[in-house]
Amino acid sequence: MQFELDQCLNPLHESPMAGQKDMAVKPLKVIVIGGGIAGISAGLFLRADGHDVTLFEPGHPDKGTSSGNAGVVSIASCVPTATPSTVASVPSMLLNPHGPLMIRWRYLPQLSPWLFRLLLNAAPWRVQHNARKKAALLDHAYQNYEQILSRTGLSHMMRRPGLLTVFETDRAWKRAQWIVNLIKSVGREIEVLNENEILQVEPGLEPIFRHGFLTPESGHILNPGKLMLGLHDAFRAEGGTTISERVLGIKDNQPEKVAITTANGEFFADRIVITAGTWSKQLLATMGIRVPLEAERGYHVMMKHPEPNLHHPINVFEDSMFLSPMEHGFRLTSGVELANTEAPPDFTRIRRMIPRAVRAVKGLREEQSRIWMGYRPSMPDSVPRLGAIPGHENVFVGFGGGHIGMTLGPTIGKITADLIADREPQIELTPYAIRT
């Protein structure tokens, strides 16, 4: 079957979400692959420019990684995964299969090219460099979120309470000073707190934390799954088309046109956007392009929220866990498990974290309702990849958000729409290009 996207288009469309009302945009047929936060944001910004947009997403919008995360719009989180402390924690990873960083050793041969690059990125100068690249994107995160949320009538889904990071021991706090300095160095606000101040800011915590810091600019999505459903509904209401099929391959071998294949045939377009999270790697492989993209897997459990509820999402530093008070319950999320996308989930570690959360939060009880696993799409340098693929100027990528992919989704979408509309993007994109 051959399929042509044939919606009726205005010849020239104004771009309200881009905030550039007078700028004429030539309407194009655009296929977006993947409906996580990056893909749906791209879809919405592209529709606002008047393009004929079809989104391919085989899954449910409220089940994937963009729904199960901690919901922190974490605009101060510039620290990459690869740091000297990550390297220092490798021995404990070996000894403790339930520590903050875990590797499923069976998958080591497959993971080793990514791990090798991760180690190269742990050099202190690279950490600084990668943090600055992340921070440049994070500079625009809030503004792009606000555009998406206000346009879709979903502004009530986000609060801005700040993110509180807490430390139980002097040792951990001392070791984390470079993180505090790094966050300051990229111009983010940070308030250092002592034992008493932590309890004033967050009275729902048990008095076990000796040190902490608040990054007050950070936001919090109250229910990421509900937000994803709302964004998908808005996309369709604004004339976007959703097709519930898995894309099997990408073809860029005809002048002017690009195509994707699914089990039902070929679909042609003027532009293709690859925002398939961790699975972007497989799609690029169908074009003969290899990228070192892997999943930093993570888990959550939902629990009944305590009375009174916490006011802030909390990063409990030593346990690598996030405590996230959401509208539909209390979400506890885990640190990183390294294995590939096919490996079955292992819920042992997140279950073991429940007593740690109960110990930290007043009135929290051990009853768990839902348990879940997701995939942070991560490059070894923790820097997302964005823009047209060199040599394939009609195919764009937007993946690699990693630990801050929920924060950066709308920014990935906005930059992609700007490029497709031939507008100047918000930042210089050379550092985010993929190499072919």
Q: Residues 285, 295, 371, 409: is their CA dihedral positive or negative? A: negative
Question: Quick check: 402 binds ligand FAD (CB under 6 A)?
Answer: yes
The residue (of 13 and 375) whose beta carbon lies closer to ligand FAD is 375
User: Reduced to 3 states, what is the DSSP secondary structure of residue 106?
Assistant: helix
Count of residues in contact with ligand FAD, rule CB under 6 A = 44
State how far the Cα of 84 lies from the Cα of 46, in Å rounded to an integer. 40
Which parts of 18-57 interact with ligand FAD (CB under 6 A)? Answer: 33-39, 56-57
Instruction: Judge contact between 229 and 62, C-beta under 8 A.
Output: yes
Angstrom distances, CA of residue 300 to CA of 71, 330, 349:
12, 10, 10
Rounded distance, CA 288 to CA 283, Å? 9
Count other C-beta atoms under 10 Å from residue 154's C-beta: 19
Q: How far is CA 118 from CA 83, 126, 227, 235, in A?
A: 9, 11, 32, 36
Asked if residue 322 lies in contact with residue 335, where contact means CB atoms within 8 angstroms, the answer is no
Give the nearer residue to ligand FAD in terms of CB position, either 50 or 405. 405
H/E stretch holding 243: strand 241-243
Which pairing describes strands 314-316 and 163-167: parallel, antiparallel, or unpaired? parallel
Q: Please, which of residues 318-357 interact with ligand FAD by CB under 6 A?
A: 333-334
Q: Is 401 in the site for ligand FAD (CB under 6 A)?
A: yes
- Site membership for ligand FAD, residue 173 (CB under 6 A): no
Q: Which of 9, 14, 26, 59 binds ligand FAD (CB under 6 A)?
A: 59
Minimum separation from the CB atom of position 400 to ligand FAD (A): 8
Q: What's the closest the beta carbon of residue 121 comes to ligand FAD, in angstroms?
A: 18
One-letter identity of residue 266: E
CB of 14 to ligand FAD, least distance (A): 27
Position 409 contacts ligand FAD (CB under 6 A): yes
- Give the angle 33-34-39 at the CA atoms, nearest 5°: 95
Residues between 228 and 257 with contacts to ligand FAD, criterion CB under 6 A: 246-247
Nearer to ligand FAD, 212 or 401 (CB): 401
Q: Shortest distance, CB of residue 64 to ligand FAD, whole angstroms?
A: 4
| CB distance 82 to 382 below 8 Å | yes
Q: Which residue is nearest to ligand FAD (CB)?
A: 405
Would you count residue 65 as binding ligand FAD (CB under 6 A)?
Answer: yes
Of the candidates 58, 187, 265, 391, which one interacts with ligand FAD according to CB under 6 A?
58
Binders of ligand FAD among residues 291 to 320 (CB under 6 A) are 298-300
Choose, by CB under 6 A, the member of 71, 162, 325, 413 that binds ligand FAD.
Answer: 71
- Residue 406 interacting with ligand FAD (CB under 6 A): yes
d(CA 186, CA 418): 25
25 vs 323, beta carbon nearer ligand FAD: 323
Say which residues have a Cβ less than 8 Å from residue 8's Cβ, sequence separation at least 6: none
Q: What residue ranges bind ligand FAD (CB under 6 A)?
A: 33-39, 56-59, 64-66, 69-72, 74, 246-247, 275-277, 279, 283, 298-300, 333-334, 374-377, 399, 401-407, 409
